[in-house]
Amino acid sequence: MDEKITTKELSEILGVTQGRISQLKGQGRFDGCFEFVGKNKIAWDKAAAVAAYNNEPTQQDSTRTPTSELEIPTFNESRAKSEYFRAEMSRLDLEEKEEKLCDAEKVKREAFSLARSVRDALNSIPDRVANQFAAETDSVVIHQALSEELRKALERLTDA
């Protein structure tokens, strides 16, 4: 701290009451601008406190959230935000009912189920054609049979 002053001196410099300074301190506006020097005594850093009161960033605390971001919005602002979010929810509900939107978890489950059925169909091809291929010597017939089995398995993908 550069120059230490009392709460009374700070109130005179800022032109506000000591109660107002206490209120702003409670809101966090003066964080980092004071230190406790006794049981009930506070020493203020004059330059930092004046800068904090004027919403100027200080070197000590350049990451401090401005007081304007901490203030409670007005009733009309809150109401406007509420109405906006209500309208957005209504729009999303409508798009879901019109089937323009759907539940992502449902899509994941169905895609997984479809992929599993295709995988199972492809994995079962060797079991179905092994005996047929063991007796067959003509590569053209083997190729046609294998192509037909693959086509049947992949048709499940387009039918689903």
Check residue 109 and give its pLDDT: 93
DSSP annotation of 35 reads E
Question: Do 65 and 8 share a structural domain?
Answer: yes
Q: What is the pLDDT of residues 91-130, one digit of tens each?
A: 988 988 888 888 889 899 998 988 888 888 888 888 888 8
Check residue 84 and give its pLDDT: 93
Mean pLDDT of 84-89: 93
Question: Do 77 and 115 share a structural domain?
Answer: no
Question: Do 87 and 47 share a structural domain?
Answer: no
Question: Do 108 and 95 share a structural domain?
Answer: no
Q: Can you give the residue range of the structural domain that contains 94?
A: 72-101
Under 8 Å CB-to-CB from 46, ≥6 apart: which residues? 2, 3, 4, 5, 9, 10, 13
Check residue 61 and give its pLDDT: 47
DSSP annotation of 99 reads T
**Pairing assessment for the beta strands 34-36 and 4-5 based on DSSP bridges:** unpaired
Question: Do 80 and 121 share a structural domain?
Answer: no
The domain boundary, picked from 84, 101, 118, lies at: 101
Q: Which residue has the higher pLDDT, 40 or 80?
A: 80
Q: Is the pLDDT of residue 1 over 60?
A: no
HSE-up of 70 (CA within 13 Å, CB side)?
10
Alpha-carbon span 39 to 42, nearest angstrom: 9
Alpha-carbon span 126 to 128, nearest angstrom: 5
- Domain count for the chain: 3
Question: Do 63 and 11 share a structural domain?
Answer: yes
Instruction: Output the pTM of the full model.
Output: 0.38
Check residue 63 and give its pLDDT: 52
Helix crossing, 7-14 with 18-26: angle to 10°? 100
Question: Do 150 and 115 share a structural domain?
Answer: yes
In sequence order, the β-bridge partners of residue 42 are 36
DSSP annotation of 40 reads S
Question: Do 64 and 31 share a structural domain?
Answer: yes
Q: Which residue has the tokens 């209504």?
A: 90
Q: Is the pLDDT of residue 66 over 70?
A: no
The domain boundary, picked from 24, 54, 70, lies at: 70
- Give me 146's structure tokens: 């294998």
Question: Do 146 and 114 share a structural domain?
Answer: yes
Q: Is the pLDDT of residue 26 over 50?
A: yes
Question: Do 127 and 97 share a structural domain?
Answer: no
Question: Do 64 and 8 share a structural domain?
Answer: yes
Question: Do 84 and 141 share a structural domain?
Answer: no
Alpha-carbon span 120 to 140, nearest angstrom: 26
Which of 94, 113, 116 lies closest to 105 in space, CA to CA? 113
Q: Is the pLDDT of residue 47 over 70?
A: yes
